[in-house]
């Protein structure tokens, strides 16, 4: 088993065709992975986990609708976990960028990624500086010029007034 990531939370049923609403927390992969159910969003309990597969996934306004393979009556409120997959170009897992060194375009060290907050489409990265100050940066391609997960380095070009300093 690889590292598992939180994929979605199952909402209420929709209609009579066996579909459920999903609140998806991660990028949607091209090929849907095998999913594991859980009762808590903080950790995937492998001992009581049930494996499920999604037969069909489609957009429904601002949410997603999923139809599961097989008999799945008690899914409402369950959390779905998946083995971590490559989310693709310019998409990153939160835990992959945690601890990355953040430098400006000239190579000057700003600090280290301490936290990631917000939901799509606006994600903010909090950088802890050497003198213990916090600098919040919008994690947008316009300001984030390069991310190297393997070398734990993020290059940013943040104009004055865009980032937020916190004492």
Q: What is the pLDDT of residues 36-95, one digit of tens each?
A: 888 877 776 666 667 888 888 888 887 889 888 876 777 888 888 888 877 777 778 888
CB within 8 A of 148, min separation 6: which ones?
Answer: 154
- What is d(CA 162, CA 147) in angstroms, rounded to the nearest whole number? 19
pLDDT-derived band at 2 (thresholds 50, 70, 90) equals low
What pLDDT sits at residue 91? 77
- What is d(CA 128, CA 140) in angstroms, rounded to the nearest whole number? 19
The residue that leads in pLDDT, 153 or 165, is 153
What pLDDT sits at residue 48? 60
The residue that leads in pLDDT, 12 or 27, is 12
CB 54 within 8 A of CB 67: yes
CB 141 within 8 A of CB 90: yes
- What is d(CA 66, CA 57) in angstroms, rounded to the nearest whole number? 5
pTM of the model: 0.65
Q: Which domains does the chain have, with CATH numbers?
A: 4-83 (2.40.30.60), 94-166 (2.30.30.240)
What pLDDT sits at residue 102? 94
The residue that leads in pLDDT, 100 or 3, is 100
pLDDT-derived band at 113 (thresholds 50, 70, 90) equals very high
Mean pLDDT of the chain: 83
- What is d(CA 93, CA 13) in angstroms, rounded to the nearest whole number? 29
What pLDDT sits at residue 63? 83
What pLDDT sits at residue 164? 75
What pLDDT sits at residue 128? 93
Single out the residue of 129, 65, 137, 78 nearest to residue 101, CA to CA: 129
pLDDT-derived band at 18 (thresholds 50, 70, 90) equals confident
Look at residue 120 and tell me whether its pLDDT is greater than 60.
no
- Cβ-count burial 139-150 (b if 16+ within 10 Å, e if not): beeeebeebeee
């Amino acid at each position: 088993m690889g590292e598992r990531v939180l994929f979605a939370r199952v909402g209420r049923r929709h209609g009579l065709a066996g579909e459920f609403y999903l609140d998806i927390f991660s990028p949607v992969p091209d090929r849907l992975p095998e999913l594991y159910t859980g009762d808590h969003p903080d950790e995937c309990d492998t001992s009581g986990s049930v494996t499920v597969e999604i037969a069909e996934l489609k957009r429904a306004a601002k949410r997603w609708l999923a139809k599961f393979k097989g008999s799945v009556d008690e899914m409402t409120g369950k959390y779905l976990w998946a083995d971590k997959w490559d989310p693709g170009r310019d998409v990153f897992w939160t835990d992959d960028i945690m601890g990355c060194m953040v430098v400006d375009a000239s190579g000057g060290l700003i600090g280290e990624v301490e936290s990631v907050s917000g939901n799509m489409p606006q994600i903010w990265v909090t950088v802890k500086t050497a003198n213990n100050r916090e600098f919040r940066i919008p994690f947008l391609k316009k300001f984030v010029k390069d991310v190297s997960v393997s070398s734990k380095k993020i290059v940013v070009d943040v104009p004055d007034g865009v980032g937020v300093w916190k004492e």
